[in-house]
Chain A
């Protein structure tokens, strides 16, 4: 954690909302993306992100140093679980609300050189989100934190409250499932990602 961040946290703790909002600006994108990958529906992700920052501001006193990003993601993870629980308790609503991956606001900052490549990347992203949706929540969370957010195993254990062994096996099982789904749609993968099939 850099000095600047420590300073902002200290000031936020004393009730300086502007200082906290600088932290919000810094982390809102990764937090929103975590929520979006976990919940798929943009509106639900937006609500969970907002809830997470409000909860974080209120819980600042419980931050005991270490990685602020991991601490914040733990809170965001809880906000996602809350939303998933709410969804389970009234499943009928999820039928009315469009929550499929096709609702994802995909915004590619660097479109590929050709239109065709761009379209293919969009399709892959959509497909991956559907594959993530099909995973059990714990596995989805583990792999999103690991492969999309770039946390290491011990940080994921800290964020999810699971043991290191559990984290390792969740990630392994999630990748195994995704691999099965991806190999069925090999043509979507860009050539550089395409697993070399035996003999090719």
Chain B
């Protein structure tokens, strides 16, 4: 039984032996076994004959050239860089929401201001509109300064900016706000201090009004933009 197991194990190595894939020790053990085992000698002969027959198999000529033609390896054309419609639509929706929120805020402040009225300090008007103005700035800023800040903040509203980036038509939009914003500080400048605020609000350059107009204009442009986009999408 022991001999038979050994015989089988060694016989399984005959193939590797044919290819010279055994270690020196394995080779020696196998050769000793071969000298004593007729079956294994026969099996080795058969394996060698099989290998020779396979090696002698004629190589078949290719039926045609497999050289590649350019069209076979052309990369699939990249999809046309279509405008990222979903991204654009989402951006517009977000910008719209931001603008509506900004408009609501300005209106609320404006209405509250009308009710509480009085020539009201420009600072208290401008501060809420300029949402980004820090409390310190609100406190410290002289009226002209807060006015300017209020207007600038409105013009710099991220939504407005986003819109300006998205629709080329929107580019002129911030301009009126900015122009007025630039104009606004200039007016009160010559007349320093207290009266300046009154003059500023009387002359119709109330930053709240400016902000309202600017935001409303931005919203209108956004609506036009959305409609254009919707039309373009339907066409595509």
Contacts and interface: CB of A to CB of B under 8 A. Distances in A.
A71 interface: no
Contacts of A194: 49
A128 B57 contact: yes
B136 interface: no
B16 interface: yes
Interface residues of B, number: 38
Interface in A15-52: 17, 20-21, 24-25, 28-33, 36, 42, 46, 49-50
B159 to A, nearest CB: 45
Interface string A104-132: 11111100000000000100110010000
Contact of A179 (B38, B43, B61, B67): B43
Contacts of A21: 67-68
B21 A168 contact: yes
A125 B65 CA distance: 24
A85 to B, nearest CB: 22
Contact of A24 (B38, B60, B66): B66
A57 B73 contact: yes
Contacts of B52: 192-193
B19 A146 contact: yes
A170 to B, nearest CB: 10
B15 A168 contact: yes
Nearest to B53: A193
Interface string B50-82: 111111111111111111101011000000000
Contact of A124 (B16, B53, B60, B66): B53
A159 B125 CA distance: 78
Given A17-B70, A32-B60, A189-B53, A195 B15 contact: no
Nearest to A107: B61
A169 B42 CA distance: 20
A172 interface: yes
B19 to A, nearest CB: 7
B49 A28 contact: no
A175 B38 contact: no
Contacts of A196: 45
A17 B57 contact: no
A172 B99 CA distance: 78
Contacts of A162: none
A2 interface: no
Nearest to B75: A58
Given A172-B15, A193-B53, A195-B48, A17 B73 contact: yes
A121 B56 CA distance: 9
B91 to A, nearest CB: 37
B179 interface: no
Nearest to A127: B53
Contact of A106 (B46, B51, B60, B73): B60
Nearest to A153: B21
Given A172-B12, A175-B18, A175-B50, 15 more contacts: A17-B73, A21-B67, A24-B65, A25-B67, A28-B62, A28-B66, A33-B59, A53-B66, A106-B60, A146-B19, A175-B47, A194-B49, A195-B46, A195-B49, A196-B45
Interface of A: 17, 20-21, 24-25, 28-33, 36, 42, 46, 49-50, 53-54, 57-58, 104-109, 121, 124-125, 128, 143, 146-148, 150, 152-153, 168-169, 171-172, 175-176, 178-179, 182-183, 189-190, 192-198
15 contacts: A21-B68, A24-B65, A28-B62, A50-B66, A53-B66, A105-B60, A106-B58, A108-B58, A109-B58, A128-B54, A152-B19, A153-B21, A175-B15, A175-B47, A193-B49
Q: 5 tightest CB-CB pairs across the interface, nearest first?
A: A172-B15, A147-B54, A21-B67, A195-B45, A195-B49
